[in-house]
């Protein structure tokens, strides 16, 4: 019997799903548009339907042992998505209970960055680590903490929101309602805002002057920087400086072995890693200097969110076994 | 047979020790001056000698089951004090191994704020909590994190140094070598520095204008504030504002149920709690607002450091039992 898990990543635009084995092989995957459904129940029914179809296609000797879901504002303890600002369905969505009722297997829900952290531990570069942080750099900045080999969930199930620590209380407006949050500077959106700030402040010519805010993306900024564009290079230095300064604060909280950077911005390589590490070291309490690795995530592919979500189930089953043993 | 533990708190000036039972009753206590010994070995020999004398005085049916030590820069994993800036003995001091060799029982060493956190869990206001933070406000600002019922030690054994997060990178000089660390603003020393800054900046009369920096202490500032002294009151508001802003950042890391304030500054009651809570709430990511308790530590007495240190042993033995069970 081959044990398989379902991994679901609920994004504001798309929901990705896949069926994954313990080694991380994705046997089947697909996606449905999250935005297409006015009613949450219709969305759930559509998801249940595509998953049932998927399960029918599996070999006879396979068994689904659980469902993992990563979603912004997913609460590990309640299994609910609560007050998500990126979804049109308001209130409390009891997703884990609904999937468990429908499929008769455990369903583990947490926020997408926490799922990325468990994914890094089960399939990625943190396989032999017990204390590390994953920073996801997408539309926003997410973070997941593993401490002593255990995902840090916190008392209310919402630990790991370092995207909403403060860079400048009078700074950029944030979706969360505050101003100056880290994610308004360090994320795919943050670096775009920085490029526009630099274009406004400075006189240097830049190939980015011809691109609208709506069209600008991390890949364009990265390529411009690699071609020597001064504004693009300065945008990475500015982003790395702020990320490095804030990571120095995160480090003294939980003392991790490593911090993994995940997402498009992390794929810019030295452009982002070099200033981040330099400014982290410069701002670290001396006791910690030279001790903390800043590394790229191993999960840099299309299936990463599915693997992260599916890893929640393996982690849950592993820990259950070790308690029962 | 009555099980007892030895608790030792190594401060820069004094070392306090005591013999404690599981209920927190201190059967015997004393102290020796830490600064009196030029050589570390002489200090250890003196400590071993007073403890052997203490043990002789215990009733015949009692047994020492372990030794707990709280000390700045104490490393939980190695059992060493490493690079302590408050002690005259430099290098690595293998204290836990030396006590274990001398007395034949487990010796658990960690930093003093971590010991305070475990003390709060074993004897204090966090008895039924699994996720909380203790902030110790003394000469500096220490912090200890309990996550999922377990003391957060981190990968290198040095987690919980939020006293060295940054308030202002160009701010006050800190003993750690950096500038603008939280503890230079929020601690017994920090509020003194704030009083002096306010006396320098403002014209208001204040009874604190007659007191030298060396003589000024938290109790004087508290009493002046209670008598209506504007500078003293403003010093508490300033201190609480910075503490509140930084606690809002700590909260989004680990999502605690409660934050306990310990130490002289915490004993100022509303003077410190009110601005701290107000500014924490104002700066919190909205998802966390109204969820986090800020409470006084229950360990506000002379024996607190001894109880904190001794609690390390009970916590160690409890967890050992639960693993072996």
**Complex confidence, ipTM:** 0.93
Cβ of residue B147 closer than 8 Å to a chain A Cβ = yes
* B168 has pLDDT over 80: yes
Report the C-alpha gap between A259 and A295 in whole angstroms. 6
Cβ of residue B73 closer than 8 Å to a chain A Cβ = yes
Do A145 and A268 have their domain in common?
Answer: yes
What pLDDT sits at residue B139?
Answer: 87
Cβ of residue B154 closer than 8 Å to a chain A Cβ = yes
CA distance A139 to chain B (A): 17
Residue B34 phi/psi, 5° resolution? -70, -35
Give the number of residues written for chain B. 325
CATH number at residue B81: 3.30.420.40
* B85 has pLDDT over 80: no
Do B176 and B309 have their domain in common?
Answer: no
CA distance B154 to chain A (A): 5
* B306 has pLDDT over 70: yes
For chain B, the straight-line distance linking the first and the last C-alpha, in angstroms and rounded, comes to 21
Do A248 and A165 have their domain in common?
Answer: yes
Mean pLDDT of B216-228: 97
Closest CA to A44 of A7, A97, A82: A97
Inter-chain residue contact A154 with B256, CB threshold 8 Å = yes
Inter-chain residue contact A245 with B155, CB threshold 8 Å = no
Structure tokens at B275: 């601005």
* B286 has pLDDT over 80: yes
What pLDDT sits at residue A40?
Answer: 94
What pLDDT sits at residue A325?
Answer: 66
| Average confidence score pLDDT of chain B | 94
Inter-chain residue contact A249 with B157, CB threshold 8 Å = no
Give the number of residues written for chain A. 325
Closest in A148, A156, A245 to B150, CB measured: A148
From the number of C-beta atoms within 10 Å of its C-beta (0-12, 13-18, 19+), residue A262 rates as buried
Do A138 and A206 have their domain in common?
Answer: yes
What pLDDT sits at residue B62?
Answer: 93
Question: Which residue in this structure is represented by tokens 């600008």?
Answer: A216
Do A142 and A55 have their domain in common?
Answer: no
SS3 content of chain A, % helix, strand, coil (to 5): 45, 20, 35
Do B89 and B186 have their domain in common?
Answer: no
Do A141 and A280 have their domain in common?
Answer: yes
Q: Which domain holds residue A191?
A: 128-296
Do B197 and B272 have their domain in common?
Answer: yes
CA distance B173 to chain A (A): 13
Per-residue pLDDT of chain A in tens (325 residues, 90 and over written 9): 899 999 999 988 899 999 999 999 999 999 999 999 999 999 999 999 999 999 999 988 999 999 999 998 899 999 999 878 778 898 899 999 999 999 999 999 999 999 999 999 999 999 999 999 999 999 899 999 999 999 999 999 999 999 999 999 999 999 899 999 999 999 999 999 999 999 999 999 999 999 999 999 999 999 999 999 999 999 999 999 999 999 999 999 999 999 999 999 999 999 999 999 999 999 999 999 999 999 999 998 888 999 999 999 999 998 888 777 6
Cβ contacts of B203 within 8 Å, gap of 6 or more = none
Mean pLDDT of B86-106: 93
* B273 has pLDDT over 80: yes
Question: Which residue in this structure is represented by tokens 């660390």?
Answer: B181
CA distance A313 to chain B (A): 19
Q: How confident is the model at residue B325 (pLDDT cuts 50, 70, 90)?
A: low
- Tell me the Cα Rg of chain A: 20
Do A287 and A205 have their domain in common?
Answer: yes
Mean pLDDT of B271-294: 97
Closest in B73, B169, B252 to A161, CB measured: B252
Q: How confident is the model at residue B217 (pLDDT cuts 50, 70, 90)?
A: very high
Sort out which chain B residues have CB atoms less than 8 A from A132's CB and list them: 155
Cβ of residue A164 closer than 8 Å to a chain B Cβ = yes
Predicted confidence (pLDDT) per residue in B129-157, tens digit: 999 999 999 989 999 999 999 999 999 99
Mean pLDDT of B194-202: 97
Cβ of residue A111 closer than 8 Å to a chain B Cβ = no
Q: Locate the DSSP E strands across B140-205.
A: 141-147, 150-151
Query: For B182, which residue in chain A has the nearest alpha carbon?
Result: A249
Inter-chain residue contact B176 with A287, CB threshold 8 Å = yes
Question: How does DSSP assign A24-63, residue by residue?
Answer: --EEEEEEEEGGG-SSHHHHHHHHHHHHHHHHHTS-TTEE
Do B22 and B61 have their domain in common?
Answer: yes
CA distance A245 to chain B (A): 9
What pLDDT sits at residue A84?
Answer: 80
Q: What is the count of structural domains for chain A?
A: 2
Four-residue CA torsion sign, B196, B200, B204, B210: positive
What pLDDT sits at residue A87?
Answer: 86
- Cα–Cα distance list, A275 to A194, A233, A269 (Å): 15, 11, 11
Sort out which chain B residues have CB atoms less than 8 A from A252's CB and list them: 160-162, 164-165
Sort out which chain A residues have CB atoms less than 8 A from B83's CB and list them: 287
Residue B209 phi/psi, 5° resolution? -65, -20
What pLDDT sits at residue B219?
Answer: 96
Report the C-alpha gap between A158 and A135 in whole angstroms. 15
Look at residue B294 and give its three-state secondary structure: strand
Closest CA to B167 of B144, B190, B189: B190
Do A273 and A256 have their domain in common?
Answer: yes
Structure tokens at B254: 């680990």
Do A43 and A189 have their domain in common?
Answer: no
């Amino acid at each position: 019997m081959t044990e398989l898990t379902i991994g679901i990543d609920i994004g504001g635009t798309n929901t990705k799903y896949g069926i994954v084995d313990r080694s991380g092989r994705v046997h089947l995957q697909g996606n449905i548009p999250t935005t297409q459904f006015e009613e949450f129940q219709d969305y759930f029914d559509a998801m249940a339907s595509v998953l049932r179809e998927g399960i029918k296609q599996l070999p006879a000797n396979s068994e689904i042992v659980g469902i993992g879901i990563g979603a912004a504002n997913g609460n590990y303890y309640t299994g609910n998505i609560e007050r998500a600002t990126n979804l049109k369905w308001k209130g409390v969505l009891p997703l884990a209970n609904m999937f468990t009722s429908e499929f008769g297997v455990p369903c583990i829900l947490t926020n997408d960055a926490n799922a990325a952290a468990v994914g890094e531990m089960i399939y990625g570069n943190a396989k032999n680590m017990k204390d590390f942080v994953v920073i996801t750099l997408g539309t926003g900045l997410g973070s997941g903490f593993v401490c002593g080999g255990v995902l840090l969930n916190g008392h209310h199930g919402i630990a790991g929101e370092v995207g909403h620590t403060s860079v400048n209380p009078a700074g950029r407006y944030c979706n969360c309602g505050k101003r100056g949050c880290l994610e308004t500077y360090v994320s795919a959106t943050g670096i775009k805002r920085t490029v526009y700030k630099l274009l406004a402040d400075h006189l240097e010519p830049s190939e980015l002057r011809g691109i609208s805010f709506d069209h600008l993306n991390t890949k364009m900024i990265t390529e411009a920087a690699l071609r020597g564009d001064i504004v693009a290079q300065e945008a990475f230095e500015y982003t790395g400086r702020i990320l490095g300064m804030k990571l120095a604060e995160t480090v003294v909280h939980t003392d991790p072995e490593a911090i993994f950077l995940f997402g498009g911005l992390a794929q810019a390589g030295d452009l982002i890693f070099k200033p981040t590490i330099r400014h982290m070291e410069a701002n670290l309490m001396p006791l910690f200097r030279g001790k903390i690795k800043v590394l790229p995530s191993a999960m840099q592919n299309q299936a990463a969110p599915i693997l992260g979500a599916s890893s929640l189930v393996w982690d849950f089953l592993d820990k259950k076994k070790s308690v029962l043993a």
